[in-house]
Structure 1
Amino acid sequence: MTGSKTLDKIVAALENPGAATSDFDLNPDYTPPEGRKLRDAAVLVPLIRQADRLQMLLTKRSSALKHHPGQIAFPGGKREEGESLSDAALREAEEEIGLPRNTSRLLGTLPCHETVTGFTVTPFVAMIDDPFEPKPEAGEVAEVFAVPLSHVLEPANFKVEGRRWRGQRRHYYTVPYGPYYIWGATACMLRVLADRVAT
């Protein structure tokens, strides 16, 4: 399938994003704490075109970070007071990977995803039409890398794995690519996109 046809399928899939997801979906025995206050956050899912093939940009977080060090993630973060969720996603992408805001063509959103860390994350899928050289923010991002979109759109590439977390067995999606272990909330968002495009 060419990049143009794949992009058309993604745009069609985003028109009906579906129900919200959470880190608890694969862990029905886990009960979130009562009275928790969720904070709004947003991430950008940047797509780029290389030789008529679509790629997706991801980041590897700095190992020096207090939260989620070394994990694979989309550029993004919490919404600041007075800004929209889309503005938050674009601002964070500019800060973390040096992506100029005016180069992102927003295609739509994936369902919100609730994390165990108390965020409701809205993923914005965007096409980057102009040539772009990532500039990782040294304090937060160790690396910016590209994954073939075909890899993360193939449901068969996803697995459910688990590990002990706070005394309980926690299950989550994974979609490894080469040396990169993509898992947790990021993999769940990608699984939703893969399922939407496949239908």
Structure 2
Amino acid sequence: MADVAARLRAAVARAGAPSSDFDLNPAAPRPEGHQLRPAGVLIGIDVSGAEPRVLLTKRASGLLHHPGQIAFPGGKAEPDDADVIATALREAREEIGLPESLPEVIGAMPSHETVTGFHVTPVVALVHEPFEINLDPSEVDEVFATPLSHLMDPARYLIESRRWRGMRRSYYVVPWGPYYIWGATARMLRALAAQMQP
């Protein structure tokens, strides 16, 4: 675990480039004059067991935006949040019951721009102890943990596409078991995987 933590610290410390949902879709139009809203998500890595695992959620099926999709705990910044790290920790507490004092924050990855207009900062943190999962059913249907080794292997990532708003759009996917991890979540994980490479 010490080696994993050291590699993660080195990866986050490297100067990476921001990413975007438009990386694979440069011709896709951005709304004119739109302003990106700040948001924070938590890439929480559970190191309390035999194998490091990344905590992910399945969004509630009743949500208006991205129902049923795989995502990190997180959301838009609120005025009372000190910074995007505070946003990510608050959202993880609200969505899955992760105490804000429990994660050891390593640092923040370069931001990711979503097609839905968010400027998302992925916050990487280690979770050293088990905690009682307490889901907010209005936000989350399920929480699960995916092996870090699977997500940090660049060969696991594929590019797929589908039609959305009248045009074909491409996106990254990194399937694991019954879970279809794709879009912005897969793109941010791929960015971390790239920075983990020696």
> Which category describes the TM-score, using the shorter chain as reference length?
over 0.9
Q: What pairs with 1:33-48 in structure 2 (closer than 5 Å)?
A: 33-48=31-46
Match in the other structure for 2:71: 73
Over 2 Å off, 4+ runs: none
Measure, in 2, the Cα distance between the counterparts of 1:141 and 1:66. 13
Measure, in 1, the Cα distance between the counterparts of 2:130 and 2:49. 12
Unaligned runs of at least 5 residues, structure 2 = none
Return the offset for 1:50.
4.5
Equivalent residue of 1:99, what SS? Answer: coil
**Conservation of the 8 A alpha-carbon contact between 1:17 and 1:109:** no
Equivalent residue of 1:101, what SS? Answer: coil
TM-score, normalised relative to structure 1: 0.96
Equivalent residue of 1:53, what SS? Answer: coil
Match in the other structure for 2:173: 174
Return the offset for 1:35.
0.3
Match in the other structure for 2:27: 29
**Conservation of the 8 A alpha-carbon contact between 1:4 and 1:52:** no
Q: How many residues align?
A: 197
TM-score, normalised relative to structure 2: 0.96
Return the offset for 1:139.
0.8
**Conservation of the 8 A alpha-carbon contact between 2:48 and 2:128:** no
Match in the other structure for 1:60: 58
1:55-95 C-alpha deviation (Å, 9 max, x unpaired): 11000001000000000000000000142111111100000
Measure, in 2, the Cα distance between the counterparts of 1:94 and 1:117. 24
Return the offset for 1:19.
1.2
Q: 1:100 to 1:51 in 2, by over 3 A?
A: closer
Measure, in 2, the Cα distance between the counterparts of 1:141 and 1:147. 17
Measure, in 1, the Cα distance between the counterparts of 2:35 and 2:67. 23
2:17 pairs with one of 10, 16, 19:
19
